[in-house]
Amino acid sequence: MEHQMLKLVELTLEMEPAYRQFLADLERERSGMAQRWLFEHANEPYPELVTKLQDWSVGKQLSKGRVSCSTLFLVDDDGKILGKVSFRHELNDYLRKIGGHIGYIIIADERGKGYGTIMLKLTLERAKPLGLERVLVTCDEDNIASAKVIEKNGGVFENKYYEGENPVPTCRYWITLKQGSK
């Protein structure tokens, strides 16, 4: 499909209507990931959320055990939010095993149109200036769409991580960032 001018942006005060619609789109979906994001952010006053996400991106106001994280939204020509990505700037023990540097979601109605692949590509471009040589991206073993998104962005499978209470193993992939080509 033809892609319009998609942008990966931080949340701004002006984006509140689009953000509310994004939450409503997630609300309709009952998947664990959509619900987790709603649970974390839905009831927060919007201006505080905008400030908090900005703070997190520069390592401020982090809860214990959290690392600096950019929260970015894939937006189309009309300003509609198609998806969201969390880009953790470094790994802690949990992220190294399971979470990885980057986690993402595309709203259910917009899946299968290439947006997940593009969103990860745009995120990798954002990651280069941080000087990382490679990033870890993970997905559940049964998440075929996510595995394809990772592989189409150059992900090289390293291994599966098995954790006692998690019924599905986590597949761990590394993506090498080519420095110098911003």
Q: Which of the stretches 47-55, 67-75, 146-154, 155-163 binds ligand COA when contact is defined by CB under 6 A?
A: 146-154
Among 37, 56, 87, 115, binds ligand COA (CB under 6 A): 115
Residue 116 is a binding residue for ligand COA (CB under 6 A): yes
Residue 104 is a binding residue for ligand COA (CB under 6 A): yes
Q: What stretches of 23-94 adopt beta strand conformation (E)? A: 69-75, 81-88
Local structure of residue 81 (DSSP, 8 states): E
State how far the Cα of 169 lies from the Cα of 164, in Å rounded to an integer: 9
* Nearest-approach distance from CB 179 to ligand COA, in angstroms: 25
CA atoms within 13 A on the CB side of 60: 6
**Which 27-46 positions form the footprint of ligand COA (CB under 6 A)?**
31, 33
Residue 69 or 106 with smaller CB distance to ligand COA: 106
